[in-house]
Amino acid sequence: MKKKTLEDLNVAGKKVLVRVDFNVPIIDGVISDDNRIVQALATINYLTDEKAKVILLSHLGRIKKEEDIAKNSLEVVAKRLEELLEKKVNFIPYTRGPELEKAINEMKESEIVMLQNTRYEDLDGKKESKNNPELGAYWASLGDMFVNDAFGTAHRSHASNVGIASCLESAAGYLMEKELKYFGDTVDNPQKPFVAILGGAKVSDKIGVIENLLKKADKILIGGGMAYTFMKALGHNIGTSICEDDKLDLATSILENANDKIILPVDVVVTKEFREDAPFRVTNYKGMKDNEMGLDIGPKTIKLFKKELKGAKTVVWNGPMGVFEFENFATGTKNICETLANLKDARTIIGGGDSAAAAIQMGYREKFTHISTGGGASLEFLEGKELPGVVSLDDLEDGACGAGCDCGH
């Protein structure tokens, strides 16, 4: 069933709560990647142009103890948003209370207020990430309607998305709409040939994705740490490479039922030490020594993967091919990224997380059809799961307020 989208709302003069995903990496007080902020600009600009009073909510990091408070303040994010929008953003360093309520009540049309990190509410009993109904209703009481533009948290049932949506007329923002369109169309109606590329450390993280994609994709190329579990299941020596020994039987079963759709590496870049400048060499699995670990796919695998990608019309990529943060072991990820960026007449989608960071870091942001802002959410979407943050939004023909809500709307 189709969900309401931003332009289905009459926002003029209304206080519009917007859940954004500004969970950006911050190093020494400086944002190292502002992609998630940039992706939210279209929704915010639309709302201010339409004379809405815009109230932004986001989380940042995890709050488990008092020491986490200062390093996860959204103040630096508010300043960066202000620069990108070229508009004043009134940052309120509270998640509730009279100062926040006063600032919102005094808002004029087209003004923007940003609350403090919603996860601050987790310090005392995980009220936010456990979808505390009182907290969701309180935040809902601050606005007239709700827009969820945070695809990155759509796979979680939190007070700042599901909680608010259950109380107010709600819709998907432009970014959320775009994410759902690309992933929905790509997975459900891919133009063939459809090739999926999966990397990252663990098979267990991607079991559901592999099983779902085996029904839809023509080929699945597997690299990264997860490849070693499959290789050990096939009886190969993987030395000290990362491996989930408790998933070997599962890996064997997946391969037996894959109908030759799964393509595994044929050579690897190995080293004896997990460090950036460690000496390395290329070998096949028969040549790997007991004291060596694989940290990247080798040149023959790169050539094989490029061959499988040739002529592909739809490609989904989730997870790097190796430890791309280390220059010596970034070659596989770089080559896959470059190949996809230059694939002609193909829809290319990166499913967030490390592979998205790699593509942006390597300067290919504009070369892909879509780079997702949500690693975990994109994985669950690729598994075919329903996302609570999406399910909770109003269906196109539904009314505004959820059943059982006590927010007064």
Question: What is the set of active-site residues?
Answer: 36, 202, 353, 376
| Residue with token string 């070997």 | 248
E strand or H helix at 19: strand 15-19
CB 363 within 8 A of CB 136: no
- DSSP symbols for 171-209: EE-HHHHHHHHHHHHHHHSPPSSEEEEE-SS-STTTHHH
Cβ contact 123:143 at 8 Å: no
H/E element, 212: helix 207-213
How many whole angstroms separate alpha carbon 326 and alpha carbon 29? Answer: 23
A 10 A CB-CB count for 286 gives: 7
Answer whether 301's CB lies under 8 Å from 231's CB.
Answer: no
Beginning with the edge strand found earlier in the chain, give each strand of the sheet holding 145-148 in spatial order.
90-91, 112-114, 53-57, 15-19, 145-148, 169-172
Spatial distance between the Cα atoms of 32 and 127, rounded to a whole number of angstroms: 29
- The two most distant CA atoms of the chain are separated, in Å, by 70
Q: Which of 61, 18, 59, 25 is nearest to 41 (CA)?
A: 18
Among 190, 209, 185, which Cα is nearest to 199's?
Answer: 209
Rounded Cα distance between 237 and 16, Å, is 57
